Amino acid sequence: MASYDVIIIGAGPGGYVCAIRCAQLGLKTAVVEGRDTLGGTCLNVGCIPSKALLHATHSLHEAQHNFAAMGLKGKAPSVDWPAMKAYKTDVVGQNTKGIEFLFKKNKVDWIKGWASIPEPGKVQVGEEVHDAKNIVIASGSEASSLPGVNVDEKVVITSTGALELGKIPKKLVVIGAGVIGLEMGSVYARLGAEVTVVEFLDEITPGMDKDVQKTFQRILKKQGLNFVMGAAVQKVDATKTKAKVTYKLRKDDSEHMLDADTVLVATGRKPFINGLGLDKIGVAMTERGQIATDARWATNVAGIYAIGDVIEGPMLAHKAEDEGMAVAEVLAGKASHVNYGVIPGVIYTAPEVASVGATEQQLKDEGRAYKVGKFSFMGNARAKAVFQGEGFVKLLADKDTDRLLGAHIIGPAAGDMIHEICVAMEFGAAAQDVAMTCHAHPTYSEAVREAALACGDGAIHA
Ligand SMILES: Cc1cc2nc3c(=O)[nH]c(=O)nc-3n(C[C@H](O)[C@H](O)[C@H](O)COP(=O)(O)OP(=O)(O)OC[C@H]3O[C@@H](n4cnc5c(N)ncnc54)[C@H](O)[C@@H]3O)c2cc1C
């Protein structure tokens, strides 16, 4: 029963980053994690395994569709699904062990087990109660389902089941056209499944820039994904091997049915606070079931903080990490800050989709005078060379000051390129600053510069 400056509950990207920073800042730190491995949702059943499967299946797609065009002849590879899952598991293992190494290196104690907070300043794990001057809750989130849909993780699955399916389904119905649904839908479409995405709204990826939504859906359709839009799922009837999805179209209330071998419920995630005992100690919650925090991630109970998916804001690993670092600085008595206006969002399909800052719709709604600089990857030599000429970079800048307000990219390596604009926005840069920065040729990033040029006197290769 040790005594700590900080005990963090949960070793996801929020918790483990917070722990490392706390230790670096000289605080005696422990993390309680109930899973057998560190890294939380992200490393175990989220970002990392999904990206491994996206990489493997994208490589398959390249071999099937683009190798011959580059003069690479021969039999296209066949899929050994257990071996592909083993590769994914190995990638996860390398990453989770990496966090264990970092904990040892930084002298962060890992207390194994599930934590509760019997009273402020105390963390209970099993029979043991540890003292903590400060407690940071980083307990993350879990998949949420719909009324009338019972998840069994075999036929009706969440993203966790989608990473471990026994076999590749012939027919997959994905409920929800958000990031997770489209990434996992892409994986299985590339593996040969007939994929139908059923979405309640009329657009995919809610909240994204409308231009991106349209182009992205068109590209995904070309890749073989089917979409049923404006459809409210009523129920899923499942047997041991099959399911029927019943939905109503919102436009005319007509009822329809889809057959599937597997149904992926990808309708979002909800904060995970089970077993923490927050109600007993009076931690205030938001209406949406998140832990309520102030601008310094403090809850209403002195000495208890919360970060990551369990509080409000986008459920993203890097947002959780930023909050983890920032709250560590708060606890060490330093100044800290997270700029919520510059948190990028990325979808790791092919092409990738990335965005930061305001969408055009948001600027319209705010009544802000803005200009648009847009550049198609068709004018980018490098993108064309790798069969990725579809998509564009769209920059939004203030009409009068030219200050960058948002960026929306659909194209190759969009998830990496977006950071040029993130840095520019952090520095309050104008589109012209990006336009006047020399960009190496031939790179995809030249498309960002061209879009910035389009905010001024015009792009060159348009
Ligand atoms: C399929 C999928 C793909 C994703 N892809 C991306 C992506 O590409 N990029 C991205 O930014 N985000 C992605 N996300 C979201 C990302 O995983 C989360 O935003 C991120 O993991 C949140 O971090 P966190 O630290 O808040 O919580 P989590 O990662 O959820 O970690 C919380 C940890 O706390 C532990 N815990 C909970 N309660 C207790 C307790 N009482 N005692 C002890 N331990 C406890 C849990 O076991 C868990 O390990 C994806 C999510 C999914 C499901």
pLDDT in tens, 262-299: 999 999 999 999 999 999 999 999 999 999 999 999 99
Q: Could you identify the atom of ligand 1 that is nearest to the CA of residue 163?
A: 1
Q: Could you identify the atom of ligand 1 that is nearest to the CA of residue 345?
A: 11
Kindly report the pTM of this predicted structure.
Answer: 0.97
Q: What percent of the chain has pLDDT over 70?
A: 100
pLDDT at 114 over 90: yes
The rounded distance, in Å, linking the Cα atoms of 175 and 153 is 14
Mean per-residue pLDDT, 98-127 = 98
Mean per-residue pLDDT, 161-170 = 97
> Can you give the three-state secondary structure of 105-143, one letter per residue?
HCCCEEEECCEECCCCCEEEECCEEEEEEEEEECCCEEE
Between the CA of 63 and the centroid of ligand 1 the distance, in Å, is 33
Mean per-residue pLDDT, 26-47 = 98
Q: Could you identify the atom of ligand 1 that is nearest to the CA of residue 47?
A: 5
Mean per-residue pLDDT, 192-197 = 98
Mean per-residue pLDDT, 26-40 = 98
> What's residue 29's pLDDT?
98
Q: What percent of the chain has pLDDT over 90?
A: 99
- Rg of the chain in Å (alpha carbons): 23
Mean per-residue pLDDT, 307-326 = 98
The rounded distance, in Å, linking the Cα atoms of 327 and 19 is 10
Between the CA of 140 and the centroid of ligand 1 the distance, in Å, is 5
Q: Are 37 and 44 in contact (CB under 8 A)?
A: yes
pLDDT band at 245 (very low <50, low <70, confident <90, very high): very high
The rounded distance, in Å, linking the Cα atoms of 301 and 299 is 5
pLDDT at 2 over 90: no
pLDDT digits (tens, 9 = 90+) for 409-436: 999 999 999 999 999 999 999 999 999 9
**Alpha helix segments (H runs only) across 66-108:** 81-105
Q: Whose CA is nearest to atom 8 of ligand 1?
A: 47
> What's residue 145's pLDDT?
87
pLDDT at 1 over 80: no
pLDDT digits (tens, 9 = 90+) for 62-73: 999 999 999 999
Residue 444, classed as helix, strand or coil, is coil
Residue 99 contacts by C-beta under 8 Å, 6 or more apart in sequence?
Answer: 11, 16, 38, 39, 43
Q: Across-strand partners of 7?
A: 30, 135
Between the CA of 125 and the centroid of ligand 1 the distance, in Å, is 20
> What's residue 76's pLDDT?
82
Q: Whose CA is nearest to atom 53 of ligand 1?
A: 46
Encoded tokens for 140: 């993350």
> What's residue 301's pLDDT?
98
Mean per-residue pLDDT, 177-198 = 98
pLDDT at 15 over 80: yes
Say whether 441 is catalytic: yes
> What's residue 23's pLDDT?
98
pLDDT digits (tens, 9 = 90+) for 366-405: 999 999 999 999 999 999 999 999 999 999 999 999 999 9
| 8-state DSSP, 312 | S
> What's residue 238's pLDDT?
97
- Taking CB atoms and a 6 Å cutoff, what residues make up the pocket around ligand 1? 9-15, 32-35, 40-42, 46-47, 50, 114-115, 138-141, 159, 180, 272, 275-276, 308-309, 315-318, 320, 348
pLDDT digits (tens, 9 = 90+) for 205-234: 999 999 999 999 999 999 999 999 999 999
